[in-house]
Amino acid sequence: DLCSTSVSTTSSADISSPGSESTSTTPKYTPALIIIDMQNDFVYGTLAVPDAATIIEPVNSLIDLPFKVKVATRDFHPDSHISFAETHRKPLFSTTMIYHPEDPHEIMGMQQVLWPIHCVAYTGGADFVPGLKTTEFDAVVHKGTHPNIESYSAFRDIWHKAVSELPDILASHGITDVYFAGLAGDYCVKYTALDAVEFGYKSWVVTDAVKSISQDQLAFEEMKKKGVELITCEDLMARL
Ligand code: VGL
Ligand code: ZN
């Protein structure tokens, strides 16, 4: 019967190859695609990245490829987020918030770049840009959701106090190589790709599916120096 068949199969495997489970093997090439912040405010809105709309089609062509897992990220800030310049513009004679030293979200002594108000959660600016193939995403990672914490990397906040769900998603699929595309090349793409290296992944940036706020080439050079691999859409299609 079914039960005894299954038992004998298990025991013969145990006898025939003692110690086979402990043989160390290199993990099988298992690629993931991570599409960073392809949202209205970064394409057409308050923090529009130059030429961002030109990468929608290249990004869609990557989304069509057979990655083991496809993840999108969204910048998703509360209004009055710590990264908004407006948040820090106080009227004369207003009171001001003093953060408690034991508050884990304290901002004292830490650098924070200030931006225009952008990607406010549940507003159109935070939505995926029209035309993006969003139906293929297996997971969406939101970042910058806490009022007093900034995240450029999809792995963790800029002060490395807390890690997102992304490492667990990648680990659960046995991912070895992570390919990044999207916005902005010199902020969220760069810091996410650098963290991927630090978290032990082979990290790839698809250069013709990325646009930067300032200069693409400077961002690419810095990433390359720090262990990120650069690849074009065409070369990536040949690899998969
Ligand atoms: C980003 C600035 C502020 C990005 C997010 O997605 O690169 N840049 N928030
Ligand atoms: Zn942001």
Q: What is the ipTM of this complex?
A: 0.98
Active-site residue (options: 70, 157, 177, 188):
188
Residues paired with residue 156 on neighbouring β-strands, in sequence order: 163
Q: Residue 217: enclosing H or E segment and its boundaries?
A: helix 216-225
- Two structure tokens written together for 195: 């963290």
pLDDT in tens, 170-225: 999 999 999 999 999 999 999 999 999 999 999 999 999 999 999 999 999 999 99
Cβ contacts of 65 within 8 Å, gap of 6 or more: 33, 236, 237, 240
- Is the CB of 191 within 6 Å of ligand 1? no
* 119 has catalytic annotation: no
pLDDT in tens, 219-238: 999 999 999 999 999 999 99
Nearest to residue 179, comparing CAs of 61, 4, 94?
61
Tell the residue nearest (CA) to atom 2 of ligand 1.
187
Give ion ligand 2 contacts, CB < 5 A. Answer: 75, 144
Give the Cα separation of 51 and 45 in Å (integer): 12
